């Protein structure tokens, strides 16, 4: 039996945008824990950090509108991204009906990373194929 080799094209999804909103809300809620100090410098820093975070999350949300990512994966656990960087799977993946989390390492061994793929980033068939490949590994 030959080695399975599949290409995946990820698109921005509701799950991805929801994650961004939840992270933003958690960070903004943390400002409620800051002590109430009536110091102009302290308040200025707090406002500056808040505005910076707002701009950052607005920019990230804007970038997600057209976000795409492609990668290929073989049943052996080897794969490559669309920019040509090759990787191999290094740990057991977490698979659920909502998202898949897998860990990979570039072949040069310098970087070890995690990728979260929300189920709605792919078609149902491609999501199932990805899950099967990750289970095989």
Rounded CA-CA distance 78/4 in Å is 11
Mean confidence (pLDDT) of the chain: 90
pTM: 0.77
Sort strands 78-81 and 68-74 into parallel, antiparallel or unpaired.
Answer: antiparallel
User: For 53-95, what is each residue's pLDDT tens digit?
Assistant: 999 999 999 998 888 999 999 988 899 998 888 999 998 999 9
- pLDDT above 70 coverage of the chain, percent: 99
Asked if 34 and 98 touch (Cβ cutoff 8 Å), the reply is: no
Q: What is the pLDDT of residue 75?
A: 86
pLDDT tens-digit map of 120-131: 999 999 999 999
């Amino acid at each position: 039996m030959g080695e399975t080799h599949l290409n995946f094209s990820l698109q921005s999804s509701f799950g991805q945008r929801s994650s961004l909103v939840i992270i933003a809300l958690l960070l903004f809620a943390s400002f409620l824990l800051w002590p109430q100090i009536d110091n102009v410098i302290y308040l200025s820093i707090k406002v500056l950090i808040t505005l910076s975070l707002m701009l950052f999350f607005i920019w990230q949300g804007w970038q997600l509108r057209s976000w795409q990512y492609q990668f290929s994966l073989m049943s052996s656990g080897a794969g490559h991204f669309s920019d040509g960087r090759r990787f191999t799977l290094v740990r057991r993946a977490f698979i659920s009906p909502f998202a898949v989390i897998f860990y990979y390492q570039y072949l040069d061994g310098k970087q070890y990373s995690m990728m979260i793929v929300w189920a709605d980033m792919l078609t149902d068939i491609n999501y199932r194929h990805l899950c099967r490949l990750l289970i095989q590994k």
